[in-house]
Amino acid sequence: MNAEIITVGTELISGKTLDQHSQYLSRECYSLGIPVYYHTSVGDNDKHLYDVIQQASLRSQLVFICGGLGPTDDDLSKEILARFLQEELVQDSEVLAHLAKFFAKRSGSIPPNNFKQTYVFKNGVVFQNQHGTAPGLAVTKNNVTYILLPGPPKELQPMFETSVRPFLMQLLSNQSVIVLRDLAFFGIGESRLEEVLYDLIQNQSNPQIATYALDAGVILRLTAFATDQEEAQRLITPLEKEIFRRVGNYCYSTKNESLEEVVFQSLNQQKKTVAFAESCTGGLTTHLLTIVPGSSKVLKGGLICYTNEIKSSLVKVPEEILETHGAVSFQTAKWLAENTREQFASDFALSITGVAGPESVENKPVGMVWIGLAEEGKTTRVYQLDLHGSRRRIQLMAAKYALFILQQRLKKGEPKK
């Protein structure tokens, strides 16, 4: 089975909007062993879209059509595909009920133009949209499967993960069982990870290996094709062991968890607490941990000590340290971590102080960050980072590094398996 992706919208071909869907869907298809041979963007034009669909039907067995499912007059992807396939569209009661519930929370009644979104292929599959109004659809004719997905990434990507991926795996199930394993890494870049695993990636056949860069971190996806789950596990296990032998120190999860979720679970299991003192990250590290439900069990609190005045008055950093070494220094990070732990009576405290940019501070370069880790009864550790990118990226990476440093320390407290 080979695939192609059609993205619909005049904003794409005019350059106003970047096509994120082709990259995302190609990556996901590749992880399932489905090669993608064509990417096409087409404007909101009936004839042009019809022609592109017709061409796709002649060369691909799986065709994604992204966008053009909205309520406006120029959202015609579904209608044009139905005309091309000569398939009937019928109103779906479940989609109608979902739409009614969606608008009941907002305006109270369904706007008349939204009713067009309740029509689906009579002989197709419906993927409910939990983040919007337009459902996804799938229909197969003449040995070609067409999958229509909504345009907004915040709708398309969750729909793919929860509904489309299982649909595709079922589509492929007559060929084999497909088992996916996502290994999440931090502290090692995508290019470095590929370099360390180069021979494994180059010689892959089954399981397949693919790397995906996150905003902060890297996912290494292992995909095994087998006749049953047991065989797939036998294929993945030795490869996973070899990967862990080489770069296991950087892996924080094998269960599709965020770094903050893993930190929370480790703290909770060990009945430990943490507090933060943040300067350049402005409370971002504390915020990330509070996103996790139940975080109040492990998080004592945090301080945003952005100015030297607050560092001195609230966190008791001696003025001579700030004057001699500066706010961005080993000494300041150490004092911030130790005194924060004492003030909050927490098991751990982390401090973050650095230069997020765009200009240097205290003659310290943009990207220089110091992270302190204080622990009751232990010597305080201080780490220096040299980060790169925009101000926003430096802040995010610094916050994630703080969590990663804590997770690495918590690993040492885990019972041996």
Mean pLDDT along residues 183-189: 96
Instruction: Check pLDDT > 80 for residue 175.
Output: no
Rounded to whole angstroms, how far apart are CA atoms 183 and 146? 31
Domain assignment present for 417: no
Tell me the pLDDT band of 43, cut-offs 50, 70 and 90: very high
- Domain around 385: 259-411
Residue 259 near residue 217 (C-beta atoms within 8 A): yes
> Domain check: are 168 and 194 in the same one?
no
How high does pLDDT run on average in the chain?
94
Cα–Cα distance, 323 to 273 (Å, whole number): 32
Q: How many residues does the chain have?
A: 417
Looking at the domain assignment, is residue 76 inside a domain? yes
Task: Check whether residue 32 and residue 108 sit in a common domain.
Answer: yes
Identify the band that residue 176 occupies on the pLDDT scale cut at 50, 70 and 90: low
Considering the domain boundaries, does residue 416 fall inside one? no
Mean pLDDT (whole number) for 9-36: 90
CA pair distance 398, 405, nearest whole angstrom: 10
pLDDT for the residue 415? 62
Helix axes 391-411, 259-269, angle to 10 degrees: 30
Read off the pLDDT of residues 244-300 as tens digits, 9 standing for 90 and up.
999 999 999 999 899 999 999 999 999 999 999 999 999 999 999 999 999 999 999
> What's the total number of domains in the chain?
3
- Whether the predicted model's global pTM rises above the 0.85 cut: no
- pLDDT average, residue stretch 375-395: 96
Residue ending a domain, among 225, 253, 281, is 253
Question: For the domain that residue 234 is a member of, what is the CATH number?
Answer: 3.30.70.2860
Question: 136 pLDDT exceeds 70?
Answer: yes
Is there a single domain that holds both residue 61 and residue 159? Answer: yes
Task: Give the integer Cα–Cα distance in Å for 346 and 341.
Answer: 5
Task: Yes or no: say if 52 and 84 are a contact pair by the CB < 8 Å rule.
Answer: no
> Which of 218, 253, 288 is where one domain is finished?
253
